[in-house]
Structure 1
Amino acid sequence: MMGVSGVLNRIQELQGHLGLNPVNPAPGTIGANGTTGTTAPGGSTFASALTNATGQAGTAMRLNSQATGQNVVDAAKKYLGTPYVFGSTDPKRGLDCSSLVQRAYSDLGIKLPRLSHQQAKAGEPVANLAQAKPGDILAFDSPVDHVAIYVGDNKMIAAPKPGDQVKIQSVYEKPTHIRRVVSDFSAVAGSNAAAAVRPASLQGSGSLNGVPYGDLFVKAGNRYGVSPKLLAAVAKVESSYDPQAVSKAGAQGLMQLMPSTARGLGVKNSFDPEQAINGGAKLLARNLREFKSLPLALAAYNAGGGAVHRYGGIPPFRETQAYVPKVQKALAALGG
């Protein structure tokens, strides 16, 4: 038996295919991050849904302004291999095309509408596939009946059809709509990290002239959405820009990555400046997303994220207590 929730999901999807306004969400089927539809006072959810077909086309609520398009792709990749199940929003059971898109964004704190034709109106339009970036929503047909997430290089991640599973495939035809919900250069709203994560392109050019490996800091900062000045400040405190530095604890290279940390970041040689800077940028971006605070992100870089969680703030370690202000001072000296 499908149940009321399943019936409503099927009604919504079919209405989406026909371009009609959908019924209201059933409990447990629409909300992102665990939020669900509610029952109307004095009546059942099913009855109120049938009498209140309002829809929410084109809406997208951003609760995480740090998320980038690559974050969206990474979130979607977690569901690779999930079977296609029409109308399902539960990855344990299966996902359809629009629930995959909604789920990937909701995992990053971004609420999208449930249906494919609604998602084709979310965010901002992108002119063509040549201008598409990873994380953009690709929509197909008119009326829209299929959506996917662009991966780059003419590839997309999608839940294609019954009997198939979530997978990466070629963009097999020209999308009828391309929508961008997140920007790779988002600022961290309401956080002390706002200035620190702003890319070099938003801070003026030439600001790292004279800084060793300045071009690599700029390149990595733009790639991972972290301020190049912050990367340079961390390298200054960590190694004084010495790519061959090794600490007593065994941290290596320009960004002083522990060997196990480096492996987890995909860094094969911590003594190679470009690899080290990319690894440090990736780690800082991850910390900033997780802690939404520059001091806490720096504390996690020095002492590990687990210690920051365990102590509910900057850990009471003498080294870490001194490290955070040192990096902030070095950042200020660079004009960051």
Structure 2
Amino acid sequence: MIGVTGVLNRIQELQGQLGLTPVNPAPGATGTTGTVSTTGPGGTSTFASALASATGQAGAGMRLNSQATGQNVVDAAKKYLGTPYVFGSTDPDKGLDCSALVQRAYSDLGIKLPRLSHQQAKAGEPVANLAQAKPGDILAFDSPVDHVAIYLGDNKMIAAPKPGDHVKIQSVYEKPTHIRRVVSDLPVAPQNAVSAVRPASLQGTGSLAGVPYADLFVQAGNRYGVSPKLLAAVAKVESGYDPKAVSKAGAQGLMQLMPSTARGLGVKDSFDPAQAINGGAKLLSRNLREFKSLPLALAAYNAGGGAVHRYGGIPPFSETQAYVPKVQKALAALGG
């Protein structure tokens, strides 16, 4: 359910799209727009929001990042492939709507965008048509604008389409009403699939102070090109850092590898921390290269790559649906 806050946010969004004077939400209400007035009718917060919308300055707080490129934006957005669509949510652990996906991808690069789709359709600089669009540009649809996506090139875009769906890559199915370029148009060096989706913390040893087996996570991470913090987060969720853990299904050790999976990874003893972590790193590295998405790579670690392919995203298994956000939360707690 959307809830009262979500309904108020949607009313405010529609009012902004239609050029109507916004109404103040209930006192103390919070939501995704960040424009709640605490001063009653005619309060300065709501007035500032309305003024920004009316003058086309909704993106005035945005910072143009001269070092970020369109491909960086695309790579940032792809990290959220498979994330469920949830209207009004800006938390990827719970889900994202279309404008939250766009805002989040740019935010990951240190670029501030407004929250709502019709505001994002005014950000940056205009692009004349789709033929001139480049990866990373914002595509906005309908009048008034009610949907946004990030252009990938070759008539493809990444978007959070609708309730019941998830973040995915689609064809540009209709002519955008607005195309906006926010980042610089500088060339970008090619990136491999793993660097595009792994956290940027894979430099040196990272910060794993106090984490059991930290040196082993760093060594395995450097060996297989996987963030040590990601490996530590997986181990935390899988076993609570217990090298002797055994699940009801028979998964074993620190990284909870099934015996057949362990054999395929060259792990002879899943209860040996070094072997287990190396095996988990090898498996995650494979998944990241194959799915080019952290949530999907984690889903494949839990449910198997075949299930991810079969369902075209995170499988609808309760365990897997809970597992992915748990690992992401553990990773965030480690600063990854």
TM-score under structure 1 length normalisation: 0.48
Look at both structures and tell me which one has the larger radius of gyration over its CA atoms.
1
Greater RCO (CA < 8 Å, at least 6 residues apart): 2
TM-score under structure 2 length normalisation: 0.48
